[in-house]
């Protein structure tokens, strides 16, 4: 993956696209749905089975299908009013309006059934979307502050260089120090499981361990080895601060992607549940 140069403004601008056009459209949809819901006389029951319920249901289902097409749309590049930015803007705002449309459609009747399953999955998708947008707004600035114009490849190259320097600096050291340095070189993990990525905690990082070790060791080291150890400490310090930067970067990158690991798969589950919902209400008519 190439490191994309993205300015924060560019990331978030879809929210304000065309002066919040889609926010207005979505707000209007919500208000209309609520007014309709309150003013229609439902007899005898208020739920998806009334004409109004069916109307909201169809609107909701069409919206969901359209929202799901964003993935396909992302892969086709066009510009103008129907730019990807426009799509994303509409996607976000109309997506949120589904909370109102679908809830009114259900007539607030929930239970342990496919209908509520579809609803719950939808809420899940929407919440993950909202979280995603929040990350899009919140993270990019921090991310560029953190890496300060440094590319991802640059970071990895620097780590390799620092490892070579560690190797060099360790050559003259006593045998007892060598395994610690080797561990710092070989066992310093980058990336890793999703939990590691999300926490920047380095308590179990072997570079960090080596650094602490040598810093303590300085107190009882023999005079003749003192300057070698000081060299080692300075290299370890450099590596340690670069690692922190990389871990933060990894965390930001993970946050920017992880919500999509909910958003997209659950969208599929939602569509499946929706199909089951619609078929079931006509099958057991």
88 is a site residue for ligand HEM (CB under 6 A): yes
Report the alpha-carbon distance of residue 100 to residue 150 in Å, rounded.
44
Contact 151, 278 (CB under 8 A): no
Nearer to other proteins, 25 or 231 (CB): 231
Min dist. Cβ of residue 213 to other proteins (A):
16
Which of other proteins, ligand HEM, none lies near 239, with the C-beta cut-off 5 to 8 A by kind?
A: none
Report the alpha-carbon distance of residue 141 to residue 12 in Å, rounded.
11
Q: CB-based burial of residue 179 (10 Å sphere; 0-12 exposed, 13-18 middle, 19+ buried)?
A: exposed
Classify the phi-psi angles of 40: left when phi > 0, otherwise alpha if psi is within -120 to 50, otherwise beta.
Answer: beta
The stretch among 35-43, 109-117, 196-204, 247-255 that binds ligand HEM (CB under 6 A) is 109-117
Residue choice 22, 29, 33, 60 for contact with ligand HEM (CB under 6 A): 60
Contact 116, 110 (CB under 8 A): yes
86 is a site residue for ligand HEM (CB under 6 A): no
Min dist. Cβ of residue 117 to other proteins (A):
7
Q: CB-based burial of residue 20 (10 Å sphere; 0-12 exposed, 13-18 middle, 19+ buried)?
A: middle
49 is a site residue for ligand HEM (CB under 6 A): yes
Residues that bind other proteins (CB under 8 A): 1, 41, 43-45, 47-49, 51, 109, 111, 113-115, 117, 152-153, 156, 159-160, 163-164, 167, 170-172, 174-175, 178, 181-182, 185-186, 190-194, 197, 246, 249-250, 253-254, 257-258, 260-261, 264-269, 271-273, 275-276, 279-285
Three-class secondary structure of residue 45 per DSSP:
coil
Min dist. Cβ of residue 219 to ligand HEM (A):
52
DSSP letters for 86-154:
HHHHHHHHHHHHHHHHHHHHHTT---SSHHHHHHHHHHHHHHHHHHHHHHHHHHHHHHHHHHTT--HHH
70 is a site residue for ligand HEM (CB under 6 A): yes
Nearer to ligand HEM, 62 or 218 (CB): 62
- In the region spanning residues 232 to 261, those forming contacts with ligand HEM, defined by CB under 6 A, are 260
102 is a site residue for ligand HEM (CB under 6 A): yes
Report the alpha-carbon distance of residue 283 to residue 28 in Å, rounded.
34
Six token digits for residue 217: 């060791």
Nearest to 132 by CA among 16, 247, 257, 29: 257
68 is a site residue for ligand HEM (CB under 6 A): yes
Count of residues making up the chain: 285
Min dist. Cβ of residue 86 to ligand HEM (A):
13
274 is a site residue for ligand HEM (CB under 6 A): yes
Q: Which residues bind ligand HEM (CB under 6 A)?
A: 47-49, 53-54, 57-58, 60-61, 64, 67-68, 70-71, 74, 88, 91-92, 95-96, 98, 102, 105-106, 109-111, 113, 115-116, 118-119, 122, 125-126, 129-130, 132-133, 260, 263-264, 267, 274, 277-278, 281
């Amino acid at each position: 993956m190439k490191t994309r140069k993205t300015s924060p403004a560019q990331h978030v601008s879809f929210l304000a696209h065309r002066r919040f056009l889609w926010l207005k459209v979505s707000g209007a949809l919500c208000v209309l749905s609520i007014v309709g819901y309150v003013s229609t006389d439902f007899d005898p029951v208020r739920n998806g089975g009334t004409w109004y319920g069916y109307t909201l249901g169809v609107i909701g289902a069409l919206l969901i299908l359209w929202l799901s097409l964003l993935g396909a749309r992302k892969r086709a590049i066009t510009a103008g009013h129907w730019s990807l930015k426009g799509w994303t803007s509409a996607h976000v705002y109309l997506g949120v309006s589904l909370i109102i449309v679908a809830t009114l459609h259900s007539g607030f009747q929930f239970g342990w059934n496919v209908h509520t399953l579809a609803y719950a999955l939808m809420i899940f998708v929407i919440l993950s979307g909202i979280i995603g947008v929040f990350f899009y707004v919140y993270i990019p600035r921090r991310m560029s502050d953190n890496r300060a114009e440094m590319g991802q490849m640059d970071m990895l190259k620097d780590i390799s260089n620092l490892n070579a320097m560690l190797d060099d600096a360790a050559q003259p050291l006593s045998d007892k120090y060598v395994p610690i340095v080797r561990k710092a070189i070989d066992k310093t993990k980058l990336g890793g499981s999703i939990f590691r990525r999300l926490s920047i905690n380095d308590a179990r990082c072997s570079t960090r361990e080596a650094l602490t070790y040598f810093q303590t060791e300085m107190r009882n080291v023999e005079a003749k080895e003192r300057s070698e150890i000081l060299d080692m400490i300075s290299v370890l310090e450099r590596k340690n601060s670069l690692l922190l930067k990389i871990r933060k970067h990894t965390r930001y990158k993970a946050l920017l992607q992880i919500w999509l690991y909910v958003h997209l798969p659950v969208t599929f589950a939602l569509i499946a549940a929706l199909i089951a919902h619609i078929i079931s209400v006509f099958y057991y008519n």
